Amino acid sequence: MAAPGEGEGWRRAPFGSRFLTDPARLFQHNAWDNVEWSEEQEAAAQRKVQENSVQFVPPDQQEAYEVNANQYWNEFYKTHENGFFKDRHWLFTEFPELAPNQNVGQDAKPLSEDSGTVQQSKTPGPGGCCGPGPGLVEETGPSEHLPDSETSSCRWLTQVETVSRNLEAAELNEDFPGSSATYRILEVGCGAGNTVFPILQTNNDPDLFVYCCDFSSRAVDLVKAHPEYDASRCFAFVHDLCDTQAPFPVPDESLDVVVLIFVLSALLPEKTQSVIQRLSQLLKPGGLILLRDYGRYDLAQLRFKKGQCLADNFYVRGDGTRVYFFTQGELDLLFSTAGLEKVQNLVDRRLQVNRGKQVTMYRVWIQCKYRKPLRPRGDRETHP
């Protein structure tokens, strides 16, 4: 049976352009984009957070959660394997830098001011994504495409850049996984590969190499066991992000993009700055960090009960894994302190709907892009 309004000639609104202007249409779609909160709703969320933050977890238990963090994440992937998260095919609309024939250094431009909400794309696409938690919905949509003239120009620039980088690689005689690639992406906190494999499936550029790492050895084993794991295009490895002295399999200033999808929120907040600082060292000048993570007053934060709060806006789940809920200002300070330039810092307020149960769920995510400044002329060249 067709939903209301699905008569002759009816077309579903594309993801990224679903704006709820008529409350009577609330249950027509599974999700609505850029939903404005009323002052009453904001105040109610603040009260809920105050209530679930009254009692902190005792210090000795907090220490145990930190010491045993690896164990909790291994148990998580032992239980769920690769069935918990959906593949993130929305990535190429939100982050076109991950799509084929991209030139991060050319395309990424710093902003003088950031917008408070996610803006509608020229090409409609999914307005957001979903991290772990109950009742989440992941959506897919079409990727953005450049006009033919811009595509041709971008390809010409890429060809010139490829020749230059290959010459530099020969001079440096570097030997590390993916050393011959001219475009390198690292995903930190890769889990079972729900970001890595969509990238590899979509971007068949022979000059692309993708690295992925996770704190959990079980997660990395799942990635390596995936039928599409190809060691000639991808390198998966175990890495403790909080151990800033732990080596990476690539030299500094060798990566074009670092991807952080619901990763920083899982770290002890006081360690986040040093983590971003270390990751920024891996970027080439002009390289980008792409982030999607939990925002303040997201539904997941409001659902926590008393006794699960570790610190302000930092909680422990029932399985022992932890989560922090950011503001735009906090993330901007973290990245700018690491010397990165803001390209994008947006809040995505999404209203998800369970039409079967007639339930509404308000999600809040933050999406960021920060760029490493280009090196002044005359300074040492970067890796190819």
pLDDT value of position 84: 45
| pLDDT at 348 exceeding the cut of 90 | no
Greatest mean pLDDT among 102-111, 143-152, 242-251: 242-251
pLDDT in tens, 69-92: 877 767 766 665 554 445 566 687
Nearest in space to 324 (alpha carbons), one of 273, 257, 248, 361:
273
Q: What share of the chain is helix, strand, coil (3-state, %, to 5)?
A: 30, 20, 45
Task: Supply the pLDDT for residue 102.
Answer: 54
Nearest-10 Cα torsion for 253, 255, 257, 258: -80
| Interatomic CA distance for residues 70 and 74, integer angstroms | 6
* Residue pLDDT, tens place only, 36-81: 778 888 899 999 999 999 999 999 999 988 888 877 767 766 665 5
In angstroms, rounded to a whole number, what is the distance separating the alpha carbons of residues 371 and 294? 21
Give the pLDDT mean for 148-161.
40
d(CA 231, CA 44): 50
R_g (Cα) of the chain, nearest Å: 21
Q: Is 257 exposed, middle or buried (0-12, 13-18, 19+ CB in 10 A)?
A: buried
Residues 217, 201: Cα–Cα separation, whole Å? 24
Spatial separation of the C-alpha atoms in residues 202 and 266, rounded to whole Å: 28
Closest among 96, 97, 98 to 123, alpha carbons compared: 96
Range in 160-164, 231-235, 283-287 the model is least confident about: 160-164
pTM of the model: 0.74
Tokens 């990424």 belong to residue: 108
DSSP one-letter code for 305 = P
Q: 10 Å Cβ neighbour count for 226?
A: 17
pLDDT tens digit string along 265-306?
999 999 999 999 999 999 999 999 999 999 999 999 999 999
Average pLDDT taken over every residue of the chain = 75
pLDDT higher at 349 or 83: 349
Q: Which helix (H) or strand (E) holds 236?
A: strand 234-238
Q: Residue 178's beta-bridge partner residues?
A: none
First-to-final CA distance of the chain: 57
The model's confidence at residue 335, banded by pLDDT at 50, 70 and 90, is very high
